[in-house]
A and B are shown apart, each in its own frame.
Chain A
Amino acid sequence: MSSTSPEAQHLVRLSGVTKTVHVGLRRRPVTILHGVDLAVGHGDVFGLIGPNGAGKTTTVKVLLGLMAPSGGTVALRVDGLGAVGYLPENPYFYDYLSGREFLSFCARLFGLGAGERKARADSLLRDVGLEAAADVHLRKYSKGMLQRIGIAQALINDPQLVLLDEPMTGLDPIGRIEVKRIIQRLHDQGRTVLFNSHILTDVEELCTRIAVMKGGRIVWSGTVAEALADSPEGLEVFFMRAVGAEPGAGFGDGRPAVVGEMPS
């Protein structure tokens, strides 16, 4: 995979983004994001990786405007939410709708006309391999089928930027292969993809750039090649070092690993 030129204008830029929530009866402040700096270039397949509770999903939500940042800036160089597609983690859709009805509903939210809705739905159902199940209710879809219809609804508006939160979670090997093919196709079409994942082999295979999150901070970002240069044993080892999970954690060049857990 080729990476974008560092000088290219970033499609997504988060600068010093913080997010604090107030929990419990006493409204105790808990900081989830501690000054996140993130830049995603045009055409990148960007992988955001980190342990559970690192703040990956929160970062995506802040990007989408589902949560407002407590500090910092979020810059999205796209044409509003109309140019963004999003697949949430463990998606649940309206199980009384069929696949086709659900895509038509999503298309209508973007103001597409009846003819265009039908055309887009049919085309996407073909692209994600759900043509045969188009008129089956979503409650009868398998996990893999739900992920695929989820990707389809994320693409219904022909978005520039596609955000996928754990797109491979819970899929069997065939399901994972299908989703990886879809992501590859998105990249080939020139779209920018940002996805969170725990499956580092997939990240290594698909991504042009990655960022490692721990404790609400970006502890490392760069290209996959740079990561592998640091840790030729593979991305898993690199990741373990980056999050300080290995004995003698830290990088050989003296860069400190981040220690400590995210406050809970």
Chain B
Amino acid sequence: MNQVVAIALNTFRETIRDRVLTVIVLFALVMIVAGLWLGSISLEQQGRMMKDFGLVAVTGFGVIVAAFIAATLVRKEVEKRTVFVLFSKPVSRAAFVGGKFLGLAATLAAVIGGMGLFLFVLTLLVGGGASGMVLVATALIYLQVLTVVAVVVFFSTVTSAILASMLGLGVFVAGQLSHNVLSLSRVGAGALTEAVSWVVFVVIPNFNAVDVKAAAVGEMTVDWGSVALWAGYLVAYMGVALAAASFVMRRKEF
């Protein structure tokens, strides 16, 4: 556990100082504020526009940070050979992967939490009132982004950083279309198509089981049971991805 905490703290220090992160966060804040402008042409629907577009900005930028920074987490250590310093000490590959993940998770909690809080305050001040659902939606977006991080960390153990990023973004998009894949698996197009579709449906993360943004703008009421189940599913998915990454790392030589 000590090793996981040590690596996590180190990774947090490393990623929170990343200039790329600063640029992305600033841009996201600009996008959120741009919701104000959009609101001005929406005939008094400023609050709704800000919440909706603001949450889209939080999601988009969170996923970009996840894809590009997570991809370099493992790669950089191997390329710069700091893995020699780590693995010559009693640090397991699983502790390394876990620590890297948790460190970036802590950074993302600060970044996404900060953006969500900023959006909440902005809608409170100029959006005609804020809803606690904005913060709930932010928390669920955070879980989605962490899932992308776990997937990208896995890909970065088997391929280059840039390809891992692209694959991570691809998985995020595929996850939004999860229900289409499910439909394909039930469409009666032949046993093989259905079987393959079902496998694909299980393998890609399901990112549209719960529409968090719709709840935040008052489009639907929240079924807390479904939300809790979905959150548990995402955490389990992260566990599988990180376990796969640890397995690959265990077989790697440096």
Could you tell me which A residues sit within 8 Å of B by CB distance? 21, 61, 64-68, 80-82, 84-86, 88, 90-94, 96-97, 105-106, 108-111, 153, 157, 163
Q: Is the CB of B85 within 8 A of A67?
A: no
- Given contacts A61-B254, A67-B253, whether A108 and B2 have CB atoms under 8 Å apart is yes
- Given contacts A67-B254, A86-B84, A88-B84, whether A94 and B89 have CB atoms under 8 Å apart is no
* A residues less than 8 Å from B225 (CB atoms): none
A97 to B82, CA, bound (A): 13
B1-17 interface (Cβ within 8 A of A): 2-3, 5-7, 9-10, 13-14, 17
B87 at the interface (CB under 8 A from A): yes
Q: Is the CB of A93 within 8 A of B85?
A: yes
B90 at the interface (CB under 8 A from A): yes
Considering only CB atoms, which chain B residue lies closest to A107 in the complex? B6
* A residues less than 8 Å from B87 (CB atoms): 64-66
Q: Which of B14, B81, B253, B254 contacts A92 (CB 8 A)?
A: B81
Q: Which of B81, B82, B90 contacts A80 (CB 8 A)?
A: B90
Which of B3, B17, B86, B88 is most buried by chain A, counting CB atoms within 10 A of its CB? Answer: B88
* A residues less than 8 Å from B2 (CB atoms): 108-111
Q: Is the CB of A96 within 8 A of B81?
A: no
B227 at the interface (CB under 8 A from A): no
B67-99 interface (Cβ within 8 A of A): 80-82, 84-91
- Given contacts A66-B84, A94-B10, A97-B13, whether A109 and B89 have CB atoms under 8 Å apart is yes
Q: Is the CB of B82 within 8 A of A93?
A: yes
Q: Is the CB of B81 within 8 A of A66?
A: no
Considering only CB atoms, which chain A residue lies closest to B16 in the complex? A96
Could you tell me which B residues sit within 8 Å of A by CB distance? 2-3, 5-7, 9-10, 13-14, 17, 80-82, 84-91, 253-254
- Given contacts A67-B253, A68-B253, A108-B6, whether A96 and B85 have CB atoms under 8 Å apart is no
Q: Is the CB of A88 within 8 A of B85?
A: yes
Q: Is the CB of A94 within 8 A of B14?
A: yes
- A selection of 26 A-B contacts at a CB cut-off of 8 Å is A21-B253, A64-B87, A65-B87, A66-B87, A66-B88, A66-B253, A67-B253, A80-B90, A81-B88, A84-B88, A86-B84, A86-B85, A88-B85, A88-B88, A90-B81, A91-B84, A91-B85, A94-B10, A96-B14, A97-B10, A105-B6, A105-B9, A108-B5, A109-B3, A110-B89, A110-B90
A92 to B86, CA, bound (A): 12
Q: Which of A68, A92, A106, A163 contacts B89 (CB 8 A)?
A: A106
Number of A-B contacts (CB under 8 A): 71
A94 to B100, CA, bound (A): 14
Q: Is the CB of A81 within 8 A of B6?
A: no
A88 to B253, CA, bound (A): 15
Q: Is the interface of B mostly helix, strand, loop or mixed?
A: helix
Q: Is the CB of B90 within 8 A of A109?
A: yes
A109 to B254, CA, bound (A): 19
* A residues less than 8 Å from B9 (CB atoms): 105
Q: Is the CB of A91 within 8 A of B6?
A: no
A201 to B197, CA, bound (A): 67
Q: Determine how close the nearest CB of chain A comes to the CB of B97; give it in whole angstroms.
A: 15
Considering only CB atoms, which chain A residue lies closest to B5 in the complex? A108
Q: Is the CB of A106 within 8 A of B88?
A: no
Q: Is the CB of B81 within 8 A of A91?
A: yes
* B residues less than 8 Å from A109 (CB atoms): 2-3, 6-7, 86, 89-91
Q: Is the CB of A96 within 8 A of B13?
A: yes
* B residues less than 8 Å from A61 (CB atoms): 253-254
Q: Determine how close the nearest CB of chain A comes to the CB of B247; give it in whole angstroms.
A: 15
* B residues less than 8 Å from A84 (CB atoms): 88
Q: Determine how close the nearest CB of chain A comes to the CB of B221; give it in whole angstroms.
A: 46
A153 to B7, CA, bound (A): 15
A61 to B87, CA, bound (A): 10
* B residues less than 8 Å from A153 (CB atoms): 85
* A residues less than 8 Å from B80 (CB atoms): 92
Q: Determine how close the nearest CB of chain A comes to the CB of B244; give it in whole angstroms.
A: 20
A153 to B81, CA, bound (A): 15
